[in-house]
Structure 1
Amino acid sequence: MPSDPSGDDLFQAGLKARREVLGDDYVNQVLQKQPNSFTQPFQDLVTKTAWGMVWTRPGLTRAQRSMLNIAMLAGMNRPDEFKLHLRGAIRNGVSKAQVQEILIHMSMYYGMPAAVSAFKIADEVLKDIEDVPDRKSKL
């Protein structure tokens, strides 16, 4: 049975941040797709800790957190999460030029194979975002 974290302040703060960074469509899809006794505890954990405890901390801006995420996810070769967080980074105000610099910088520490994959994925995602009229101004 899925838990009901509606009274949990950290969960609610995390859910708000998660929606603002990743978008309502994605969050709704994940939360509706995985409401079972096996996966729900993990979704609660991610929302409460990663989003409610870490993403809401005051020490870094959301754009800075997004820049760190895309560098780490690209370097770890996690394409699904990289795509998701790249879109979030753009939503958080990270520019196309900054993405380029992040990936060039990341290539020196994670290696060229990771950078080759990251640039390929980023190019596809950024082209897709450029096709969305209301997001052009963010690039």
Structure 2
Amino acid sequence: MSVPAPRSARYREGLAVRRAVLGDAHVDHAEGVSTEFDRPFQELITEAAWGTVWSRPTWTKRERSIVTLALLAALGHDEEVAMHVRATANTGATREDICEAFLHVAVYAGVPAANRAIRIAKQVFAQMDEEAGKSDVR
């Protein structure tokens, strides 16, 4: 494959937003397992999704998080739903916000899509609560 191109300002901004939303551990892992084959994809989503859309000042990260969760749930992207539910710890979207988003999914995209997303969110919340409990014990 080719030599990597220099990183654009939009990429650098996207990387900062991606880290702020998903957390350093997630981004470090994604970069760590990236290969020459999928590196162009990682660069694309960092620049386009995070540097172009998520970095816009019109909506807060909380608002973008809520809309993103509704869209991912409606489309049945389960792994992404789980990742973005976890990211709400960084975006300010509350569990109540997520519940409301999934109620919209039920009405506009179907009950099975919302039911699946709710099940995933409950699993992620349980994991997050368990992790928080473990960190409180230390």
TM-score by length of 1: 0.89
SS in 2 for 1:3: coil
Partner of 2:4: 3
Letter in 2 for 1:20: A
Stretches of 4+ moved more than 3 A in 1?
none
Relative to structure 1, the CA distance from residue 4 to residue 28 in structure 2 (aligned partners, 3 Å threshold; closer, same or farther) is: farther
- Given that 1:5 and 1:44 are in contact with CA atoms closer than 8 Å, whether structure 2 keeps it comes out as no
- Given that 1:2 and 1:35 are in contact with CA atoms closer than 8 Å, whether structure 2 keeps it comes out as no
**Structure 1: gaps (5+ residues):** 135-139
Cα deviations across residues 9-34 of structure 1 (Å, max 9, x unaligned)? 11100000001101111111111101
TM-score by length of 2: 0.89
Relative to structure 1, the CA distance from residue 45 to residue 2 in structure 2 (aligned partners, 3 Å threshold; closer, same or farther) is: farther
1:125 aligns with 2:124: yes
Aligned length: 133
Instruction: Tell me the distance in 1 between the aligned counterparts of 2:27 and 2:17.
Output: 11
Instruction: Tell me the distance in 1 between the aligned counterparts of 2:58 and 2:3.
Output: 33
Partner of 2:50: 51
Partner of 1:19: 19
How many percent identity over aligned positions? Answer: 33
Partner of 2:63: 64
Letter in 1 for 2:20: E
Instruction: Tell me the distance in 2 between the aligned counterparts of 1:77 and 1:98.
Output: 19
In the TM superposition, what is the alpha-carbon distance from 1:88 to its structure 2 partner?
1.2
Letter in 2 for 1:9: A
**Structure 2: gaps (5+ residues):** 134-138
Decide which moves more: 96-105 or 73-82.
96-105
SS in 1 for 2:114: helix
- RMSD across aligned positions (CA): 1.7
